[in-house]
Structure 1
Amino acid sequence: MSQEVVNFNELKSVIGDPFYEKENILIYNMDCLEALNKINHSIIDLTVTSPPYNIGKEYEKVLELEHYLDWSKKWINKIYDATKLNGTLLLNIGYVEVEGKGKAVPLPYLLWDKTKFYLIQEIVWNYGAGVACKKQLSPRNEKILWFVKNKNNYVFNLDDIRDKDVKYPNQKKNGKLRCNTLGKNPSDVWQIAKVTSGYNRASPERTPHPAQFPMDLIERTIKGFSNVGDLICDPFMGSGTVAEAALRHNRKFIGFEINKTYCEYAITRVESYFAEHASSLGNYLQ
């Protein structure tokens, strides 16, 4: 695939008219496989996404596990083809029951090698709130698989995501500071609160979407694994957290969402962002 830079007009010429378009953002109300099949250039710098887990949520149709894994392989490899040589996929997936084998089998165990991407490592997203279980341990984590297209050439902005929670920031050895003044190296366990719901406990960023990414989580991925001006993609866009985070950090965005109502949730967030930042926003990437 070519590394040619494709602008939004070129994208629209191959995918079609978007459901929504504004400065540096395209939103399509369509199946991501249908859209990705039309892209014949390597244009995406970073994909951050969380597909349906195949567990019966309101936005998904449950498939036989074999068919679900086959579908996952198809869309992941379409993302691979559309990703630049130094590009990245961050794939958030949870747990699924495997008949006769296990009740809560991590989907990463079933998907990590079903792709042309190279797996750098697994990130554990740890959170406090969640379902309380009586016959098993209460789940408090999900996984993010960090895939790259080229294991020797990929974007990783360590300084942008350093952990500022340093216990002894001024500790010295031989008269020199032991810790980087920007913070310590982040680990592969990220403690970030989920987007909660319910009376008196709903997160301020909460939308009606039933499975919403927290902004803190996505901002860390955008800053750590892409650069200013890059094209960010979310093929299962949901409430639009990735779209908003991309705009906040001066990236371009293209997203696909099959549910029209969810597209409208995302557009509401994006429009609110533009309204709040109207005075400082220009065509910063044009």
Structure 2
Amino acid sequence: MTKNHKPTKLVPDTLIKDFSMDECEQFLERTNYVQGKLEHVLGKPYYSNNGFILFNKSCIEVLDELKKIEFQLDLTITSPPYNIGKEYETNLDIKYYVDWCEKWMNLIYDNTTDDGTFWLNVGYFEVPDKGLCVPIPYLLWDKSDFYLLQELVWKYGAGVQTKKRLSPRNEKWLYYVKNSNSYTFNLDEIRDLNVKYPNQKKNGKLKCNPLGKNPSDVWDFPKVTSGASRSSKERVDHPAQFPLSIIERLVKASSTNNCVVMDPFSGSGTTGIAAVALNRIFLGTEVNKKYCDVSIERFENFLNYRKEVLSQQTIL
């Protein structure tokens, strides 16, 4: 095992939250309203429970339909197929892949609130006769009407070992907003407590915010690993699962209670679990029925785990 990699928990402790009766009632009322609007154009979801709403449909089909009712997304967090031959994708011509991404990216834009945000996780792929590890952001960054605020680098310890090039240990997140002058950014929710001199003062006042410092644009989160001796506890049967901890930070930074958070490539349901755990409503689309079922089982395991932990805390 790589020294600086630690297997993740089933669910980070910070996602086990208890909410007041009023908060629960408001969340239920908002969920029922959102689901009603969705069902008006999409029919019954494949699964719906406790704010986790999942459709076994393509994101383009769903987003096209949502435009008819001017359905507004507060936040979208996703990681599309990288076009590298994973089991859930077919390799496409580079131009066709970029055109396909441009279509769903702009549909997300059309369905996003004026102060909404879009976080896009992408890696790299081979461009024939041009490059082996071409970062996908180079090809997608300007392919929508979103405003690119900045690039976030996600670094990790575990990964593929290589002999004729450097071992890859990072992926990129593109941080988009719809309105560059007005967007949701909750800095206090994501401050970094790892401050070197927390008590340092200038003119009698603390130089650092007591809640912590502003995180940099390089985030160090362990990958969700597989393998008999090194598998992450949150690992499920999906080949491209990202950690709950990084999605938790994105949800906290870019949304508030009862917001609608979408993942158009829902996969293993990571975005949905983080969203619901933080009192947001999740809208997921996934074309692969197998992954729909995987994410449903994972979400229900999360609900049971949260209930068990909270009940133990009540007893103590």
**Counterpart check, 1:137 vs 2:166:** yes
Equivalent in 85, 88, 97 of residue 68 of structure 1: 97
**Counterpart check, 1:230 vs 2:259:** yes
Equivalent in 37, 57, 60 of residue 10 of structure 1: 37
Instruction: Report matched runs for 1:1-286 at 5 Å.
Output: 7-40=34-67, 41-278=70-307
What's the secondary structure of 1:268's corresponding residue?
helix
Larger helix fraction of residues: 2
What's the secondary structure of 1:39's corresponding residue?
helix
CA apart distance, 1:278: 4.4
What's the secondary structure of 1:220's corresponding residue?
helix
- The answer for unaligned runs of 5 or more in structure 1 is 282-286
Paired with 1:8 and 1:93, the residues of 2 have a C-alpha distance of 29
What's the secondary structure of 1:71's corresponding residue?
helix
The percent of aligned pairs where both chains have the same amino acid is 55
What is the letter of the counterpart of residue 102 of structure 1? G
Paired with 1:231 and 1:250, the residues of 2 have a C-alpha distance of 10
What's the secondary structure of 1:109's corresponding residue?
helix
Contact 1:129–1:194 (CA under 8 A) maintained in structure 2: yes
In the superposition, the TM-score normalised over structure 2's length comes to 0.85
Paired with 1:237 and 1:88, the residues of 2 have a C-alpha distance of 17
Deviation readout 1:192-226 (Å, 9 max, x if unpaired): 11001112211110101111010111000000111
Q: What value does the CA root-mean-square deviation take over the aligned residues? A: 1.5
Contact 2:73–2:111 (CA under 8 A) maintained in structure 1: yes
Paired with 2:37 and 2:307, the residues of 1 have a C-alpha distance of 27
Contact 1:42–1:81 (CA under 8 A) maintained in structure 2: no
Paired with 2:233 and 2:194, the residues of 1 have a C-alpha distance of 24
CA apart distance, 1:275: 2.3
- The answer for unaligned runs of 5 or more in structure 2 is 1-30, 312-316
CA apart distance, 1:71: 0.2
Contact 2:153–2:172 (CA under 8 A) maintained in structure 1: yes
Paired with 2:293 and 2:116, the residues of 1 have a C-alpha distance of 29
Contact 2:50–2:276 (CA under 8 A) maintained in structure 1: no
